[in-house]
Each structure stands twice: as C-alpha cells, then as structure tokens.
Chains A and B, each alone.
Chain A
Amino acid sequence: MSNLILDHNIVEDTWQLVTPPTVEEAVVRKQAGKVVLFKLTGEASYSDEQITATEIPQTGKVLIPLTVWIARKQALSARLANGEIGIWLATHEVLETLVENQPDLNVFPLIAIHVERFADGRIFSIGNLLRTRYGFKNTLRAFGDVLRDQLFFLKRCGFNSYLIRADRSAEEALASLQDFSEPYQGAVDNNQPVWRRVHREHV
C-alpha cells in the first residue's frame, strides 16, 4: 500500500525518485571525533562523477536531485516542457541555487524536500520560502524521515504532500493533519494570525 499523502488522501506515487549512485568512499565529515549528523549549509551534495553517472529513466515522471538537474537541464528541457520533471533537494541546499537556474518554479509540477532526520527543522523554513518568497504553487512534498508528529507543522509551512517513512502508517498519520483547530500565528497555509481570523472577546 502507498505511503504517500497528497492533500488529505493517500494516493499512489506516480513519480520515480532518481538518486545518484553511491560512491564507495562516502564523505563522512567528522568533527572533534564525532560523526557529523547534519551537513553544514552550502556543502555540495554530490561529486561531478556521481552527477554524470546518475541514471534517469527514459520515460515517465521523474523526481531529480537539484544538482543533477542543473548539470543536465539542457538534455531534459523537452521532458520539462512535458511536465515530466520534478526536483528534489536536501535541507542543506540553498534555494537561491534553484531559483538562479529556474526563476519560474511553476514549470515543475512537483518539488520535494528530503529530510535526513526528522529533527532537522530547516525543512519548515524551506517550505515557507518556496511558497511565500518564490511563488511555488504546485505540489510540495516532504520525504525521507517524515513522521506524523511533524505533519501539522509541515502543512502549516506550505507542504501539501508527505511520503511517510516506510515503516509507519500513512493512514494513521492523516489524523495528525488535524492536531489543532485554530492555531495562533499566521503561517503559509493561512497567513492570518488568530486575532485577524476571529473576533476575540475579553473574558
């Protein structure tokens, strides 16, 4: 069964996720003897070799890493026009890179953000910026370590699609989209703070 939520329904995933081949000597950054769990902002994700060697299926809708798309966008332009190209990026990648290469983000039917660990809250600011700063109107998906307890926040930050981690139930996760009925602050899903939405009487 599919674990993909789109809006408020569980749907089949029609996109093929493209990932670069793993290299034998994966770069593991260390600091003070401890393995770094989070990549630092601006760190390059993939080597040129990995980007070149990335296999992209010839047909159908494909979800491509940002760096691979930037390197190979000429070759993919016809498929982009055909609505077959979606982009995914990691939480340490900067949106400016995406926008410099493609000012109108609405050419992509799907942008997906990969969150390596659920505790990485950069995904919330990225969602917010894509919707409010860069005007992205199509499907915005979170995938990776996506758990139900972050869904309400993701929704409020502009996401409308969530690929729930494979070992968890998407069916149960749907309930978390309704955790709070009247949140206080204005956010992406509703930019009006509560005092502009409803009349609050003195108690």
Chain B
Amino acid sequence: MYKYDEIDQAIVNERVSQYRDQTRRYLAGELSDEEFRPLRLQNGLYIQRHAPMLRIAVPYGTLSSAQLRKLGEISKRYDRGYGHFSTRQNLQLNWPKLEDVPDILAELATVEMHAIQTSGNCIRNITTDQFAGVAPDEIIDPRAVAEIMRQWSTFHPEFALLPRKFKIAVSGTKQDRAIVQAHDIGLEFYYDEQNKMAIKVWVGGGLGRTPILGSVIREHLEWQHVLTYCEAIIRVYNLHGRRDNAYKARIKILVKALGIDEFREQVEAEWAHLKDNPNTITEAELSRVATYFTEMPYESLPAHDAGFDNAIASNPAFAAWVKRSVHAHKKSGYRAVTLSLKPHGKAPGDATSEQMIAVADLADAYSFGELRVSHEQNLILTDVKLSDVYALWETARANELATPNIGLLTDIICCPGGDFCSLANAKSIPIAEAIQMQFDNLDYLHDIGELELNISGCMNACGHHHVGHIGILGVDKDGSEWYQVTIGGKQGNDASIGAVIGPSFAAEEMPGVVQKLIDVYIAERTPEERFIDTVRRIGIPPFKAHVYGKAVEKADAHV
C-alpha cells in the first residue's frame, strides 16, 4: 500500500498544527460557531446529538495492521471502546471530545492517517472496490490513480468550498463494486482499442434526497488527463452550481438542469484551457505511485488445499461461513476473506477496540499486514492462503467476526441514524437489530440467499437505501419516526433506484414488513432467482398487496 514520504508526512503534520490552532481559537471565542463549522467539517468533525463525531479517512478503504491497531487504541483512549465503519469506507468515532481532536489527529499522523476532507463541501475520500488488486475480474487496479487523486484533491485550493460535498469513486473491474453511477464523478477504468488505460467518466450521480444515477460525460479519457478533466468538471460546478438551497446544490441538480449535453459542452470548453497543463499525470509519476501497489510476495500454491477441503466436508459451520465470506482471488491458492461486522443484534459496521486489534493481528498473521474496509461496512483480508483459512476462522469466530451472513439479508448496510446523528429523522440501528433478530435462523437466512438491505435514518442516504434490494428510509411525520420501504434498488453495472411500495410503517412493524416481502419472494421465486431478480420480473404490486393487504386501499382512499 502507499507509504508516506517526507512530503506527505509534512502535510499531515502541518494540518495537525493548523487544526490545533483553529480549535484553540474556537475555544477562546475568536471563531464563531458558524465560522468554525466549515473548518471542523473539513476535518470530519460533526457536532452530533450527544457528542461530536469524528470521521477518520481511510483512503480507498485500505488500512495497514499498524493503522488499525492505532485506531483500536484511539477508540479506547478517546472514545468508548468502539468505532463505526461507514459506507464511505471511513471510520467514525461517536464520542470524542472536541478539545481532544487535535491530539487524536496527532496520533493518527504517526501512522500516516488523517481526517482531512472527510466532511464539508469539498472533495471527499475517494472510494473503490474492496477487492482492488486481487479480484479475478479486475481489468485495471485503480489504486495508484486513486492515490494520485487523493493527493491532488487534498487541500485543493480552488475546490475547498464547493456548493456541496463532492464524492468520487473509481473502479477497474468487470462487475462494478464501487457504485460509480451513484457518485458525483465515477471513473471506470478499461483498456481501449490501442490497449492503453482509459477512463469512462460518469457525472452527476448521487443518492440523498434526489437519487439520480450518473450520466456518461466522456466515454474515453486518456488516463493522464484525469486530474485536468476533473478540474474542468468541478470548476463548472463550483461557478454555476446552486448555492441558494443546500438540497439543490449537488452537481447532479446542475447536470439535470442543464442537461448532460449542455453540461458536457461547458466542461469540454473549460477543459480545452486546462488540457496538458502541468497537472497532467506523467508516466513517471504513475509508475512511482504504482510501485506501492505491486503484487504481494505470493507463494506459488496449488489451487486446492486438502486441509481446507476436509474442514469444509467435516464442519458445516465452517462450510456455511466459507460459502458467504471467502471470495475468489486472482492468485492460485489464495482467497479474500470478509470479516462480518454484522453480528445479529449489534449495530452494523461497529467494531470494538479489541476487535480492531484482533483484526490487525489476523492481518499480520495471514494477509501481509493489510486489510480493506468495504462500503458494505465489513473488513476484508485480501490475501489469505487457503491453508490458513480455517485457523483464521477460528480466531475470527472467537472475536465475533465470523457471522456467516455476508451478502445475505442480515448483512445490513446502515447509517448511525437517530441514536447518534443530529441530521437523522429516525433511528436506524434498532431497526437493523430487530430485522437481524427476525432472521436469526441461519439455515433460513441462507435459503433466502443474496439480498442487500440498506437503512438510512434520513434523506441524506448515508445507508444508500435507494440502491438496496430492500431499502428502508427513516422519515419524520409530525414529530414521530416512520419508515418508508423501497424495493428493487441495486448497485453494480445494472444499477437501479428502488421504488417506494407505499405508506410508511412504525418501527415495530418493520421486521414483519420485511418478513412479508421475503414471503412473497419465497412463494414466487424460480430456483435460480435472487430476491432482486424476482422483484424485477414480477414487479412491485404482488409485494405491495401482501404487505398492505386491505390497508392499502384505506390509505389510498385518503389521498
């Protein structure tokens, strides 16, 4: 993975000093709340319901064991002994003290980490596929370009105060796992006809209040121009994006208002001035950064391991876990392993300090000291030998990291919700927990099969509910918490936005509602169909009819 040189280290160190002084001035009353707000936000610090929340950047979801160990220590010392991995692959601390944040940042800087631009109206952490570099379907490893873009976007002077937040995702696989179409800019890497690395550029996607899938602004961009092209896009947005209404300020609103063709013309006109300027990436710079992402020192291994095969045959619990949590690898004899942060009845994405340290130890023992955070809020060891999988499982299980539910209904993607977040309209974690308990029978869970269930506590859609096969959105109705249900959303190459099934529900109804959706699926599915396939084939009405029964007519009669 990328390692800081003196220049990277100087920037995070100078950032700690700068932020320390900003905090000092705020506490001394020299900065008003309003003036401090964008400063702390650009450092990932929110003022939440009970306490500040600090969001720590995990660039493109990659962590070293030393970094995770440090996160474990920090969450123990400055928080309540746990942290929350978010859908942007970052780590959030829910209970730090505002005056401790400069010290936390100084601790982070010692392991080449920071909280720069994890919030605020600026370019946020760039995300990608958690299997980058090891996925069998990978065409191009996007991490080197992601790192170059991380550096370029860090304290980008022109884009420090955009109309609204700005999210970029990169992907270089056949199957998109980075939801590039749901980002302000999505970059899809491929080899063109000349066998050169090229990028298909998507723009104007986003979830939130107005979910829109991105449009292709350029089919073919030569890789060396990616920074200047992004500059052109973001400059047009910075100058012309709406600043009068935060809900209409994302780039997707501008793209929609102008139309993709007009927007493209404006961007291309701007780019004509920027193309080939010194921010054009050189071969030398790409190869310098790419050397940090070269292949791990893999052993030459056979495709099968007798011990592993025997364990599967003799241990059904291990076999069930392998089925869900162990993923194909480009290298023979190796696997990627997902550690579930979704044990039933616990807040999805949460990890205790002890778990973080345990995972760091596992990474050291079995996966070259590195790991990934997925946007599904789990942790992944990417380079595990087949012969080590069983031992890894035993330790993971002892640390409650081996719930065999990856990709299943209880692998719920969930924002912190109303328990923590001051933006939320409704709680989301208790809903997730209640649904997990409803489907606590593992055989049944496996029988239901692949299903993505996403929960957001408000319109801001941090839980990506629009692209969940089942999406749940917390809404506020006259001061009480209700939940709106969508089905048919999907991430990936064939992404879609889910459709609302009808009037919203009370919290206690939610496990039953999900149960009814599953009942319809079980009754209607063909042998090969996943939940999403059945929804796409038979449409919303059968689900709606079963969930609401007569109640739908009553509700409709009011409208």
Contacts and interface: CB of A to CB of B under 8 A. Distances in A.
A74 interface: no
A119 B32 CA distance: 14
Residue in A39, A121, A124, A203 whose Cβ sees the most chain B Cβ within 10 Å: A121
Given A185-B279, A194-B7, A203-B3, A29 B244 contact: yes
Contact of B11 (A132, A157, A184): A184
Contacts of A34: 245
A191 B277 contact: yes
Contacts of A128: 158, 235
Nearest to B42: A149
A133 B161 CA distance: 21
A186 B282 contact: no
Interface in A144-203: 147, 149-150, 152-157, 179-187, 191-196, 198, 200-203
B509 interface: no
Contacts of B243: 37-38, 40, 120, 122
Interface stretch (B60-68, B92-100, B147-155, B368-376): B147-155
A180 B278 contact: no
Contacts of A198: 7
A32 interface: yes
Nearest to A37: B244
B117 to A, nearest CB: 12
Interface string A124-150: 111010001100000000000001011
B196 interface: no
Interface string A27-44: 001011010111111000
B156 interface: yes
A182 B8 CA distance: 9
Contacts of A15: none
Contacts of B527: none
Contacts of B235: 125, 128
Chain A interface category by residue count: 35 or more
A186 B158 contact: no
Say whether chain A's binding surface is mostly helix, strand, loop, or mixed: loop
Contacts of A41: 239-240
A62 to B, nearest CB: 28
B438 interface: no
Given A29-B244, A157-B158, A179-B18, A186 B278 contact: yes
A202 B22 contact: no
Contacts of A39: 244
Contacts of B239: 41, 122, 125-126
Interface residues of B, number: 46
B242 interface: yes
Contacts of B227: 185
B238 A121 contact: yes
A167 to B, nearest CB: 10
B288 A180 contact: no
Nearest to A145: B35
Chain A CB within 10 Å, residue with most, of B14, B39, B155, B245: B155
Interface in B96-154: 121, 151-154
Contacts of B191: none
Given A120-B243, A179-B14, A193 B161 contact: no
A102 B526 CA distance: 71
A37 B282 CA distance: 42
B4 interface: yes
B229 to A, nearest CB: 14
A148 B291 CA distance: 39
A181 to B, nearest CB: 6
B160 A121 contact: yes
A121 B159 contact: yes
Contact of B7 (A36, A186, A200): A200
A179 B288 CA distance: 27
A25 B239 CA distance: 28
A160 to B, nearest CB: 14
B161 A185 contact: no
A152 B121 contact: no
Contacts of A157: 157-158
A203 B4 contact: yes
B161 A119 contact: yes
Contacts of A193: 152, 278-279
Interface string B1-15: 001110100110011
Contacts of B10: 180-182
B162 interface: yes
Interface of B: 3-5, 7, 10-11, 14-15, 18, 22, 35, 38-39, 121, 151-163, 227, 235, 238-240, 242-245, 273, 277-279, 282, 284-285, 288, 291-292
